[in-house]
Structure 1
């Protein structure tokens, strides 16, 4: 999981209200078509052909970051005035009807907006990220150092915590209890309810798999 900053003004136009309303982010690079299935070298060739009189390095870096480096489930920060919007990023998609010099918003990613944060409350590492001049740039440090946890919904905080190596506490169950439980499951295998039979079979197979994995 990674963190990125994206500017709110692709093609020099403030799009923050539209980003929030329609739940997406965008970078400005019109005229080169859908990039979803193109490799980085192929993207470079397309850019060189479509913009022969300009330096394509910056554009190529932005495209590579937006299309390849950024992934579904990453986080994005979009600064606007004294507020910063935190979002959960979705997949890249291309909108042909907005592929024009006038709009320049054809390259998009869906976003689930999670929170609005006063910019002054973000730590210096994130402030440095937001100060990058590029239209999009990645946070180079471990995402935990960004200090965004307190602005995440509870279920995402729990998901973040599961990435840590937390020891799992095993509960001891005596043999008699195990035998009784298996007996109940075996009886359920013979009942008339097909869903109950299926659940019982799954439970027994899971138990057998756990026993084999533990070497018992």
Structure 2
């Protein structure tokens, strides 16, 4: 499973709570039809046909739309942010709401979400803060999801996950340790490679 960060499309200003109440998110971009079978090139072609998109802006828009419609998978996690408020959710499949494919609404490209917890942004670690600060409407967390340190919000309320009482390790140390293990995977020593692989797989569980 993967983690994604998403912010409200500026066209949906004031609709954050509505998305929470209705248990879905939308990336916007009306006028390009159902994206169930559309690849990135097809999305780019449809956007180009609308006018108003060209060059880098066109490619960037097509990439984030494709990520939302096809890159995200059922069961992935989403951090949906609006200012200092962040809500963690379990994402469902993409679906197209044709009745909303009009400029007045625009929320036609949707994913159902089971909302789990509302989190103060200040409680999230630096790697997650970087994710939420990234440009665009949606971005993938570029690290193993364990580095997001979301266990306490993914577990049943009031129940601590195994190992919750272990000393905390800062994000920089974890990242450095993973880099060392990755370098060890390229070692000429087969025993060292095996130990590094076992350590990485053990961490990923």
1:27 and 2:27 aligned:
yes
Q: List structure 1 runs of 4+ shifted beyond 3 angstroms.
A: 52-55
Length-normalised TM-score, structure 1: 0.68
Taking structure 1 as reference, are residues 72 and 10 closer, same or farther at Cα in structure 2, changes over 3 Å only? farther
Unaligned runs of 5+ in 2: 162-200
Maintained 8 Å contact 1:10/1:104: no
Structure 1 SS opposite 2:64: helix
Q: Tell me which structure has the larger Cα radius of gyration.
A: 1
Q: Which residue of 1 aligns with 2:146?
A: 144
Maintained 8 Å contact 1:10/1:27: no
CA RMSD for the aligned pairs?
2.2
Q: Which residue of 1 aligns with 2:97?
A: 95
Among 65, 68, 91, the residue aligned to 1:66: 68
Structure 1 residue 101 displacement after superposition: 1.6
1:65-121 residue CA offsets vs partner (Å, 9 max, x unmatched): 101211100000011232210000000001111112222211000000010111111
Maintained 8 Å contact 1:10/1:28: no
Q: Which residue of 2 aligns with 1:18?
A: 18
Maintained 8 Å contact 2:70/2:94: no
Q: In 2, Cα distance between the equivalents of 1:151 and 1:22? A: 21
Aligned pairs, number = 160
1:37 and 2:57 aligned:
no
Q: In 2, Cα distance between the equivalents of 1:50 and 1:9? A: 18
Structure 1 residue 10 displacement after superposition: 4.7
Structure 2 SS opposite 1:68: helix
Among 107, 110, 121, the residue aligned to 1:108: 110
1:7-64 residue CA offsets vs partner (Å, 9 max, x unmatched): 1245252321111110001112110000011222222222222236544112101111
Length-normalised TM-score, structure 2: 0.72
Structure 1 residue 122 displacement after superposition: 0.4
Unaligned runs of 5+ in 1: 159-163, 167-216
Maintained 8 Å contact 2:31/2:101: yes
Maintained 8 Å contact 1:27/1:107: yes
Q: Which residue of 2 aligns with 1:120?
A: 122
